[in-house]
Structure formats: structure tokens, C-alpha cells
Structure 1
């Protein structure tokens, strides 16, 4: 394990080198049908101890091959309870610690199906939201959390989005959601936001000939919008940052188009245009002044 990942593991109390141990899903005492019934009942469980025990049991459903158990049950239940404030901070933190193991590179590499890390990242976005509203982490733990989010997002190389058999993977979009929730947290400093921006820049223009078709650009632009709103980066910074993306996305005068260069231009547009529209529509005049010069230049420069 390299020093950066060791720092994450130690700060969050994880066992170095240990992968996640997955239990059965559905959890003990439940069936697929009983969980879907509970979903139809809007996840209403009055008994606090029973609700928290089930929440911890549903963590393993986030890695289930069945997309209904993974998405409609595991994620929806945990998101609902976290957003409703129906899980204790200790339980949310325990869920987060379990899921952080699943975005470590060794776990990602071992998951041929490619569903474990993306749904861990999506749920970690909800943990980040709780931490933003009711702090769970100390400064060192939160820094490790930011490092984990940036490392996961920058490291995604499985660009599968949706298929009828396996449902969603969507690793880039889910990593961007995690980054967005972190970007809204005023406890993050400029260096931490810069780490997120570097990871986002990696995925705006993924390697090879892959073209985004599942809204990844819109999801990637959201944390950039909110990072800019923090006001820790000036207009000159954003103009340079955006110009680098455009420069990497265009083949250059006299160079022939290739499948890879066309994909880069497509992916740059999928990011730049939603960001441009969002900034144009914001009522925040300072936000427009901060971002529009660079965005207008980027729009003009993209073929």
C-alpha cells in the first residue's frame, strides 16, 4: 500500500490491506420480497434499534449483483434514512468506514462485475452530506475522506454506465456525486478543493476513445460549480483551468481527427456546456463574474 492510501487507512481506522468482508444480502431475517415491501412503505421502521441494525445489514446489498437489491433497496434505504436524520452519527460513520474499504484500489481491481465501488461511492456521497450538516469527522479524518474521494474518482477506469441485466455502475458519476457533497462542505480548505478539482479534470476527458452518454459531464460539472461558489479561486484561476481542458480536448491546427480526439471533444462539450448554462442561469452575479470569462473562451475554442 502506498503512503497516500496508508494515510487514508490509518486516519479512518481501516485495516491496511484488508478487503471488505461481504455478508449475505438480504440480511438475516429479511427476504428480497420483504425488503421491497418495506420500500413501498417508504422505509418506515419506528423501532430505532431495528432500523439501525437493518441499515448496517443493508450495506452488503450495495454490492449485490441484483440491481434491485443494490439500487432500489440498499442505496435507497440508506439514502432515505440518512437524509431523514433517522440514523445515529455513530451508525452513519460506521457505514462510511465499511464503504471506504470498497473504493480502495485492491477491492476495485478484484471486482470483475464492477458494481461494488460505484455504489460504495454513491452512498459515501450521502455520508459526506451528513458530515456536512452534522459533522462526523475530525479534521484529519475528513482530510483522509477527501483523499479517498479524489483517489477513487481519478482512478475510475470502468466506464460502463447502464445495462438491462446488471443495472447501473456509473463509477464516474457516482464519484462526482461524492465530490459534489464534499464541495458543499465549508470545512474543506482550498488545498482539499484543489485535490477534488484535479480528480475531476482527469475524468472530464477519460483516456482512449470512450464517449460519455449517461450524463457524466453534468455530474462532473456540479462539484466544479460549487467549488467556484466558495470563492477561494479567482476568475484568472478558472480561465486557466478551463483552458487546459479545452487545450487537451482539441486536436490542434493541421492535425487529423481520430476516434480518440473526437471523443475528447464530445466529452469536453458534455462538461463545458452544462457548466456554462448553470452559470448563466445563476442569480449569483459574483459567480457569473468568476466563471463566465473562462467559460465563454472555452465555448468559443471548442470546435
Structure 2
């Protein structure tokens, strides 16, 4: 039922029952096995586009995120098991081809948004230190600049930004790593846009990153519980947004190689 294309069976019955039972501790003794079952669901139909298998993958990762949150609240799962779940989530999220948000007649697929929720849950896990959090950061970045056929239009960027803020709140990833990560994302998007602009809409290569950086800026500027490095991060984001939108926002201030490059379409 969790992968049922009927939203009444999936969203109104299977999902709330599972989530409620996990949060109330009904599955505490079975949590590792339940999480493994949800992780296995990430492989069902992976690589397909436009099929109903997306619901199984998307809602499996959503339930898995609740399992992870339960373990964070009350340690129930060995650290190695949570790290294994993280590896499966990352592998699936980067390989997921069906990025539809709302599917008429069938409700929310939202694989990218649900994947972001799982990354956010992992970021809050005590099993994750600086190396693991850095890997999660790279996964978020790769998903944002990954090849797509249409832009995120159903608040996926906001959910990805929320996951990023959850990671930043841990205050474990060095600032210079964050700076290099942002520069790499902007550079990748701009270079890819240049190389494909004669064959397809260049906004498909920069648009999702632009949406994500705007959402992340808002989360840091007005969202709750910002990290201690908020002020410096906002400056980095302003420069990154200027690099992507120079005709509208002006040139960035930082003197980095990526920001000295011209912007496609300028």
C-alpha cells in the first residue's frame, strides 16, 4: 500500500499508520528490520520515468527518514546500520530519474523532496561526524546540479535547503569546505550550461541551483535556529547568486576563479 498510486490508500492510510506507529515506539524492537525493508524499496523500478514505481521509492525513503529520526530521539539502531541506510539513500537519490512533484490523479510523488527529508534526518543523527556530513553535503549538491529535463517546481528546492540547514546546524563541516563546495556547484552549473546551450535550454543546467541557493538564503536569513556561521554563509550565497544572475544582480564581490567567469546568456 505504501507504493499504491491511489493517494487515499497511500497518503491517508499506509503512510500515517506507519509514521504514527514508528513515532509511538510500536516498531522500536523491529526498527532495524523495518528500515532495511524501506531501504530495499528504493531499488524498485529505479531508473524508470513516468511510472507508478516512483511512489514505492519515494514513500519508502519518507518512512525510512522517520525511522532515522526515531533512532536519533532514542538510540535503537547500530551506527553501522544507519550509515548503511545513508549509503542507500545517497545512491538512490543521485540515481533517481523520476523527479515529478505532483502527479494529477495520483497525488504527490515528490521523490526529490522526500529524499531531501531523509538527508535532513541523517544530518541530525549522532552517528554522523564531519566526514559523513561532508558526504551528505556533496550528495545534496550533486542532486541540485544533476541533469534534469525540467526544473523543480513543487518546493523541492525548499526541502533541499531545509536539509542543508539541518546539516549546517551541526557546526561540524569547516567553513572553507562549505566555501569550496559552493564554488564547485556554481562552476559546474555554469560550465555545463555553456557546453549544452546550443542543444537545450541552458536554464535547465543552472535553474535548479539558482532555486536552491535562493531557498537556502531565505532559510538562513529568516528561518528558525540558524547556524552560528549564518552571516558569513549569507555573504557566500549572495556572491554565488550574483555569479548565476550577473545581468540582474551585478557581479559578485569575491575574487575567485568561478566568479570571474561570464554568465551564460549575459
Give 1:81 shift: 2.8
Q: Secondary structure at the residue paired with 1:153? A: helix
Q: Which residue in 2 is equivalent to 1:265?
A: 206
Do structure 1's residue 65 and structure 2's residue 12 form an aligned pair? no
Q: Is the aligned partner of 1:297 residue 2:239?
A: yes
Equivalent residue number for residue 91 of structure 2: 151
- The aligned residue for residue 261 of structure 2 is none
Q: Distance in 2 between matches of 1:208 and 1:78?
A: 32
Q: CA deviation at 1:119?
A: 0.7
Q: Does residue 191 in structure 1 map to residue 131 in structure 2?
A: yes
Mapped to 2, the partners of 1:285 and 1:152 lie a distance apart of: 28
Structure-to-structure mapping, 1:206-225, within 5 angstroms: 206-225=146-165
* Cα distance change on mapping 1:234 and 1:175 into 2, 3 Å: same
Q: 1:132 aligns with which of 72, 75, 96?
A: 72
Aligned partner of 1:93 in structure 2 is 32
Question: Pick from 153, 156, 173: which aligns with 2:113?
Answer: 173
- Per-residue CA deviation, residues 12-37 of structure 1 (Å, 9 max, x unaligned), is xxxxxxxxxxxxxxxxxxxxxxxxxx
Verify the 8 A CA contact 2:161 2:215 in the aligned structure 1.
yes
Deviations 1:105-133 (A, max 9, x none): x6535894222111101111111110110
Question: Which structure 1 residue ranges, 5 or more long, are not aligned?
Answer: 1-60
Q: What corresponds to 1:244 in structure 2?
A: 184
Shift of 1:197: 1.7
Distance change >3 Å, CA 283–CA 129, structure 1 → 2: closer
Distance 1:185 1:161, change over 3 A: same
CA deviation after TM superposition for structure 1 residue 64, in Å: 1.6
Give ranges in structure 2 of 5+ residues lacking alignment: 246-266
Q: State TM-score, norm by structure 2.
A: 0.81
Larger Rg: 1
Number of aligned residue pairs:
241
Evaluate the alpha carbon distance shift between residue 81 and residue 198 of structure 1 in structure 2; reply closer, same or farther with a 3 A threshold: same
